[in-house]
Amino acid sequence: MIRSRHRDEEIAPFEDLEILLFPLSGATSLIYLLLTALFSFLIVITGTLHESGLPIFLFPIWVVSLCGIVKYGFVILEYSARGRRRVPNFSGEMLLVNFDAASLLKEMLLLFILISPVLIFKDIVVQVASIIVVLLILPGVFYYIGVENSFYNAVNPVKLFHFIKLTGLNTVTVKLAVIEIALSTLLFVGVQNMLGAPALNLFLGTCIIIYLILLLFRCIGVLLHSRREELGLPVEYSPEQEELERQSQVDSKRSDVVFDLHRLSQRGNTKPAWEMLEAELIKDNYESEAEYFHAISEWDHPMLLFKMAQGYIDRLLKRNNTNTAWQVFEHCHSRSDGKFQLKSGKSVMDLCQHAYSRDHKKLAVEQLGHFEIDFPKHPRLKDALYLAAQICCADLDDFEQARSHLGTIEKRFPNAPQEERYKTLNDLLVT
């Protein structure tokens, strides 16, 4: 049997997705500068030549540029929703090779629908009300059109209300609200004052607006990622994914250890197998003890199982997991034909008291019967003998064995006949 060995690989811890500094990080900063330069040029030229009629020839460039930034924005949203800290570079391949005309058309149409009330109505109250509504539904609209690619859901008031209710109020939604308010205010003021504005003001305004647009898509993506379970989003990077990778690595390593232990046990090398197992248990603070015990319990070589079970039962009892400790003990007792012995007198007492309360009295008496031999100097020896005598007398009707235990108590502890427990049991046996 050939088995490939596990190799430890460093698992990068999941880091919270950056929002405010996202446009300035890594290659995204170059894309931000490129988009800023492009739109600054278009806005400055358009504002400068607005009276000459020449800006009409810039219309195709405007359309392509707006499509480009919208496309890249939804790429940011999608990758952020998956949990990626970095997104693909802005490139011709992104726009042309993976170009989806239908999706882009839906996205552009939705954006036009969202801003149309502000353009159509001149009343400032209606415009402000329209902006507020747009800001509320914008995350849901972007989710349904960008992730689900559903135009119907993106314009469905019921779906949008459900999305708003689902996202709730948290740190990300507060950041998103601040970004939306800042962006909408700048756009509202900027559009009204663009014509005739100084070129420097147009450039600085463009820098801020492009920055906020990138933040907007990023923040919505982060919001979706934070609600990944509720939305049922498939993600690539998340705390849960990190934990799954780590657990997979741990399981693979445990599998290798079990394989080596089985090979040593088959050769009859119990001592080196136990030393290896003990070292692994200490290394992971006994967290894998249950998995190792389950695997070893299925083998035909019980010696390693019995040696492991002694410490395993002690630790289970210290954690007050008496039920599991009893199950482990019963399994080992059955596999050893009753010869399995615990190494702690306290563990014997704890298990026997558990057995007594769970109506396993014969097995409890069996263990208590050789308690004196196993632990002759144990401080609870008298309690063990009293418990054995009580079970034999009151529950098993084995008066002969009960008298034997009382005799042992009297022999080992000469003052015991003056004790109330001794007198009560002795009176029962006499009658």
**Does 328 have pLDDT greater than 70?**
yes
Integer angstrom CA distances of residue 16 from 120, 147, 231, 255: 41, 21, 19, 32
The pLDDT tens digits for 172-207 are 899 999 998 998 888 877 776 666 667 777 788 888
The pLDDT tens digits for 343-356 are 778 887 887 777 76
pLDDT at 217: 92
The pLDDT tens digits for 359-391 are 677 777 777 777 777 888 888 888 888 888 888
Whether this prediction's pTM lies above 0.85 is answered by no
Helix (H) or strand (E) holding 55: none
Quick one: average pLDDT of 270-279?
84
In this predicted model, which residue has the larger pLDDT, 164 or 15?
164
Residue in this structure with the two tokens 């002795």, named with its chain if needed: 426
Q: Structure tokens of 329?
A: 């003990």
**Does 428 have pLDDT greater than 80?**
no
**Does 82 have pLDDT greater than 80?**
yes
Let me know: does 17 contact 80? Beta carbons within 8 Å.
Answer: yes
Q: Label residue 4 by pLDDT band (50, 70, 90).
A: very low
The pLDDT tens digits for 130-159 are 888 888 888 888 888 888 888 888 888 899
Q: For the range 403-410, what are the long-range contacts, defined as Cβ-Cβ under 8 Å and sequence gap of 24 or more?
A: 403/429, 408/372, 409/382, 409/385
Q: Which of 70-74, 223-227, 337-341, 358-362 has the lowest mean pLDDT?
A: 358-362
Let me know: does 78 contact 147? Beta carbons within 8 Å.
Answer: yes
Let me know: does 365 contact 391? Beta carbons within 8 Å.
Answer: yes
Residue in this structure with the two tokens 């810039």, named with its chain if needed: 58
pLDDT at 116: 80
pLDDT at 211: 92
Q: Which of 173-182, 219-228, 239-248, 256-265 has the lowest mean pLDDT?
A: 239-248
**Does 97 have pLDDT greater than 60?**
no
pLDDT at 267: 76
Q: Structure tokens of 427?
A: 């009176």
pLDDT at 206: 85
Task: List all residues 6 or more positions away from 188 whose beta carbon is below 8 Å from its beta carbon.
Answer: 118, 127, 131
Of the chain, the percentage scoring pLDDT greater than 90 comes to 4
CA dihedral over 187, 189, 192, 198, signed as positive or negative: negative
Quick one: average pLDDT of 231-251?
79
Quick one: average pLDDT of 407-419?
81
Q: Please give the DSSP secondary-structure letter assigned to residue 93.
A: I
Burial of 197-212, coded b for 16+ CB within 10 Å and e otherwise, reads: eeeeebbebbbebbbb
**Does 57 have pLDDT greater than 50?**
yes
**Does 81 have pLDDT greater than 50?**
yes
3-state helix, strand, coil in the chain (%, to 5): 75, 0, 25
For the chain, report the end-to-end CA distance as a whole number of angstroms.
Answer: 68
Integer angstrom CA distances of residue 365 from 327, 353, 384, 392, 393: 17, 10, 9, 7, 11
